[in-house]
Chain A
Amino acid sequence: MSAVTIPARQASGGVNVKVINRIVIYGLLALFALFYLMPLFVMLVTSFKTMDEIQNGNMLALPRAPTFDPWLKAWGETCVGLTCAGIKGYFWNSIKMVVPAVLISTMLGALNGYVLTKWRFRGATLVFGLMLFACFIPFQSVLLPMATILGSLGRFGVTLQNATGTSFGLGNPTVNLVFVHVVYGIGFTTLFFRNYYEAFPTELVKAAQVDGASFFQIFRRIMLPNSMPIFVVTVIYQFTNIWNDFLFASAYAGTGDAMPMTVALNNVVNTSTGVVEYNVNMAAAMIAALPTLLVYVLAGRYFVRGLMAGAVKG
């Protein structure tokens, strides 16, 4: 029935239906985009307004006299808890934590993926299954055991300090956070790389073996240079997750000088002295969000390509 009627309908009103469909689709998309972008817009305009304008004006209005002062104040002067030196120190804290955590977890994931696909051993599937299981463990259930482990590591660090003069970073909150994020991230990074390398031609590894390359030479010269898409995907994923993490950060480095950006931002907003400086808060939040935004913009095109990689055999 329908097979007969459809061509007839298309002949009469097909073009109109098409146009209306398009309008509905794009209209809805635009509406959703607007809805999604609205908070960002409000944050952005507010961060460039003076307090007067915020208190007396419209929330959605553009700033009449755009000013960079809230940004400067957020960066260098605003109070985080009791110290009023801006968020810049905490920004660097986050960088110092995120960069090693992302790189270490990504490299370990790549190495795991390489071994699990190209150097298969008895029980490799089981090991991979267990690592996959790590992806489903909720953060909250790790909190207390991890605190115990970090405590032990810290005490061991003190012992080391007394014996050798250096604690090798054990007990340092930044090192602790790097450790936690690496451990928690390995499941995901292994999953990414393992699936990518599963489709990676094994003959290349064999050819390199015949050429005399060692285990690590193959990894460094053959596997890694051909892993750009999945490398980027993993870095974006890990960077976003670790940078945005609040739970581990507040649990293991919630006070003191090593506090990461997310915790500091929370403290900025919660500091209750005098008026709430919305413009400074918004600027601080924007600063906190910038690095992830930057990573997406710089590497985003690889992100889509990477997610598709391996889907079609080239």
Chain B
Amino acid sequence: MAFLEIDGLRKRFGQVEILKGIDVELEKGGFLVLVGPSGCGKSTLLNTIAGLETITSGEIRVDGRTINDLHPSKRDIAMVFQSYALYPNMTVAGNISFGMEMRGVPAAERQKAIDKVAKVLQIGHLLQRKPSQLSGGQRQRVAMGRELVRDPKLFLFDEPLSNLDAKLRVDMRIEIKRLHATTGTTIVYVTHDQIEAMTLATKIAVMRDGEVQQFGTPAEIYNNPSNLFVADFMGSPAMNLIPATIGTSGNALSVVLQRETREPISLPMANAPAGLSAFQGKPIIFGVRPEALTDPEGAERNASHIATADCHIEVVEPAGSDTFAVTNLGGKGVVARLRADANIQPGTNTPLAFNLTKAVFFDPATETRIR
């Protein structure tokens, strides 16, 4: 039995259904990231776990206990809010101990708990300051301290890094990961940033329009997206989703990609998924991540199935660590990720290696994966 279990959770505001039957579970000590575009219901889902929103139907269990109808304070959870929600009229110490004060913990014990948390988060020197006298990163730390001090069963984070600048965000991301590793707490984390999702999570739930599109480990989500939306949403730069048709070459299937000026490319498929044969002569969406489309020398050595084709390079973007090249296939700009020192010029034709073991296929009508 999992530590956090959400079964058939539905939430309706009047006639509008915000959450349409969510089923998610998380093991003890796990890190679940709810990710999706704005308005997909991920924050609402988090609020229902916290008890700040009621649910229409379904069940939420933590450690075997159903918490559906419990008051937020009785759920043994802690929540870090997007705006940190530090009480402006209280000092840092007051903020951290407010929850304990509400629960009637004696002052001496409160002080001990404050000191302990201050040590973990290195905010000892800030304890007597007001939130307005803190920097963004310090506020973030205090907000985490306020929740950490309760030693809850479940930690909830609602887009905690979205108010920080880019560099601080990366630092705090590492800090949260370290905190998770050292304390072993169970965390549910909401974000719209798919990089945060990939780096932090042990499990990811990709959401859209109140439904979980895919639920799995970061690697599963990244390598085996179950539909077009997940494939497009996760990964940066995004996966190339190229309109193509399925043809035959010899007795194997092949993927046919239109090129703007020249004859189409035909990539032979040695180990095509079984479902693909039904699409012979029909349009499909061919998905390949930029790192699976590279210069032949940089292609993965142990990939079993690589096809090379000449492509017309339109734009070259040197990014320092890599060089990105944009070509046009199937009427769309397609990004290839090359070594940083790859010798490539815009306006020329260059052979690119397609790592077809990593390629995925989608049905354009239903947007689901062809397996």
Contact = CB atoms under 8 A, between A and B. Distances in A.
Contacts of B50: 206, 210
A208 B98 contact: yes
Interface class of chain A by DSSP:
helix
Contacts of B221: none
B54 interface: no
A204 interface: yes
A225 interface: yes
B85 A217 contact: no
Interface in B56-99: 71-73, 77-79, 81-83, 85, 87-89, 98-99
A128 B226 CA distance: 49
B102 A210 contact: no
A217 B98 CA distance: 11
Contacts of A208: 87, 98
Interface string B90-127: 00000000110011000000000000000000000000
Interface string A203-222: 11011111111000100011
A203 B83 contact: yes
Interface in A177-201: 201
A226 interface: yes
B52 interface: yes
A206 B99 contact: no
A111 B103 CA distance: 24
Contacts of A210: 50-52, 72-73, 77-79, 99
Interface in A28-63: none
A189 to B, nearest CB: 21
A188 to B, nearest CB: 25
A226 B88 contact: yes
A206 B85 contact: yes
A78 B71 CA distance: 64
Interface in B2-50: 47, 50
Contacts of A209: 51-52, 71-73
Given A210-B50, A210-B73, A212-B73, A203 B81 contact: yes
A206 B103 contact: no
A222 B102 CA distance: 12
Contact of B99 (A201, A212, A222, A225): A212
Nearest to A228: B89
Q: Which of B73, B78, B82 has the most CB of A within 10 A?
A: B73
Given A206-B72, A212-B103, 11 more contacts: A201-B83, A203-B81, A203-B82, A207-B87, A210-B50, A210-B73, A210-B79, A211-B146, A225-B89, A226-B88, A226-B89
Interface of B: 47, 50-52, 71-73, 77-79, 81-83, 85, 87-89, 98-99, 102-103, 146
30 contacts: A201-B83, A201-B85, A203-B81, A206-B47, A206-B50, A206-B79, A206-B81, A207-B79, A207-B81, A207-B87, A209-B71, A210-B50, A210-B51, A210-B72, A210-B77, A210-B78, A210-B79, A210-B99, A211-B73, A211-B98, A211-B146, A212-B72, A212-B73, A217-B102, A221-B87, A221-B98, A222-B89, A225-B89, A226-B87, A226-B89
